Amino acid sequence: MKAIYIEQHGGPEVLKFGDFAKPAPAPGQVLVKVAVSGVNFIDIYQRNGLYKMPLPAVLGVEGAGVVEALGEGVTGFKPGDSVAWTMARGSYAEYAAVPAVSLVHVPAHVSMSDAAAAMLQGMTAHYLTHSTFPLDNTHTALVHAAAGGTGRLIVQMAKLRGARVIATAGSAAKAQVAREAGADEVILYNDTDFQASVKQLTNGAGVHVVYDGVGKATYDKSIDSLRPRGMMVSFGNASGAVPPVDLLSLSTKGSLFLTRPTLGNYSSPEELKWRSGDLFSWMKDGKLKLMIEKEYPLADTAQAQIDLAGRGTMGKLLVTI
Ligand code: NDP
């Protein structure tokens, strides 16, 4: 089968497009003919070696497609079913063997592209706003990179929960997208000191929670944008990994909470059903609007990763197989 795989870690040039052994579904797995794969930052971390794994490996951790065959012991799915998944690697390929526990049925009203686009970033935005720090209408949240794939969905879900949202964005065009997603205020953080703006916008109090997927470049000022007992949710490394933290600083800066969550710990079978069910029903009702920036052919996956890392994109990038 055709796939995008790596034999060593490195830049986009290590992504190879070529023939790779078609997987066979092991017990508990489902073989899916992939229609669309999501492109995510985790693919870049796995490619460049920030996140380690055995090589050679097919990359891509999110997709939608049609069930081709079932491994031993799988129930609840049959050949021909439309399915989507995340947190199982191998979606940059014509076929993927996916654990049945990671799969959800795609409702008829959801296209393959929308299903693939919603899974990783949508479930991430869901757990961040509903579980890590369950927002309500008494909270003010700071959301970084709010026009990005995940950020834009966090903004929409924070507004669904009634919170006030202060967003950051890297350009005027991105600020407009963040506003359209529902942000109450948008700070152009490349030109403005966002910490000072947050203090001003909260009358000196600071925010209850910061959702920070940018990482190294924003960590210090994010922590300093919190009110006492606020929560720093550092969920990504788009600008690089956050260096080790001085634990005592959480005390001196106001008895702060700090978490570094990952979707893997927020996606039990029950949570997967809850979160994907919410996503698909909000998409149907128009409460959640996806934004697909571009769909690339599988052979151009390297370009998709270059574009995502290059800070020029808004919303979701996909690869069609
Ligand atoms: P985005 O679409 O948000 O793209 C990243 C954005 O980050 C850029 O567009 C840019 O927006 C901003 N950014 C700021 N500094 C940099 C930099 N130096 N290099 C690149 N981008 C920068 O990507 P995703 O939605 O796919 O991912 C966002 C973050 O969420 C990532 O860190 C990812 O790892 C994390 N994530 C974490 C998950 C988890 O469970 N922990 C799950 C899913 C995603 P701007 O121009 O506005 O600054």
Q: What class has domain 137-259?
A: alpha beta
- Which residue's CA is the nearest one to ligand 1's atom 45? 170
Amino acid letter, residue 179: R
Q: What CATH class is the domain 2-120+264-320?
A: alpha beta
Question: Which amino acid is located at 189 in the chain?
Answer: Y
| Nearest-atom index, ligand 1, CA of 235 | 41
Pocket test for ligand 1, best of 119, 132, 143, 214 (most atoms within 8 A of CB): 214
Q: Which of 290, 307, 311 to mutate to test the pocket of ligand 1 (most atoms within 8 A of CB)?
A: 311
| 3-class SS letters over the chain | CEEEEECCCCCHHHCEEEECCCCCCCCCEEEEEEEEEEECHHHHHHHHCCCCCCCCEECCCEEEEEEEEECCCCCCCCCCCEEEEECCCCCCECEEEEEHHHEEECCCCCCHHHHHHHHHHHHHHHHHHHHHCCCCCCCEEEECCCCEHHHHHHHHHHHHCCCEEEEEECCHHHHHHHHHHCCCEEEECCCCCHHHHHHHHCCCCCEEEEEECCCCCCHHHHHCCEEEEEEEEECCCCCCCCCCCCHHHHHHCCCCEEECCCHHHHCCHHHHHHHHHHHHHHHHHCCCCCCEEEEEEHHHHHHHHHHHHCCCCCEEEEEEC
pLDDT tens across 220-229, in order?
999 999 999 9
pLDDT tens per residue, range 180-198:
999 999 999 999 999 999 9
Distance (Å) from CA 279 to ligand 1 centroid: 20
Residue with the nearest Cα to atom 32 of ligand 1? Answer: 236
Percent pLDDT > 90 in the chain is: 100
136 pLDDT tier (thresholds 50, 70, 90): very high
- Which atom belonging to ligand 1 lies closest to the Cα atom of 261? 41
pLDDT digits (tens, 9 = 90+) for 157-176: 999 999 999 999 999 999 99
CA-proximal residue: ligand 1, atom 34 (nearest) = 236
pLDDT digits over 204-224, tens only?
Answer: 999 999 999 999 999 999 999
Ligand 1, atom 19, lies closest to the CA of 239
Residue 45 CA, closest ligand 1 atom number: 34
- Give the pocket of ligand 1 (CB within 6 Å): 40-42, 120-121, 124, 145, 147-151, 169-170, 174, 213-214, 217, 235-239, 261-263, 308-309, 311, 313
Q: What is the pLDDT of residues 98-124, one digit of tens each?
A: 999 999 999 999 999 999 999 999 999
State if pTM tops 0.75. yes
pLDDT band at 319 (very low <50, low <70, confident <90, very high): very high
Residue 260 confidence class, pLDDT cut points 50, 70, 90: very high
Residue 167: what pLDDT?
98
The predicted model gives 1-23 an average pLDDT of 98
pLDDT band for position 246 (50/70/90)?
very high
Q: Per mean pLDDT, which range of 49-53, 75-79, 102-106 is the poorest?
A: 49-53
Predicted local distance difference test score (pLDDT) of residue 309: 96
- The domain limits of the chain are 2-120+264-320, 137-259
Beta pairing partners, 32: 67, 96
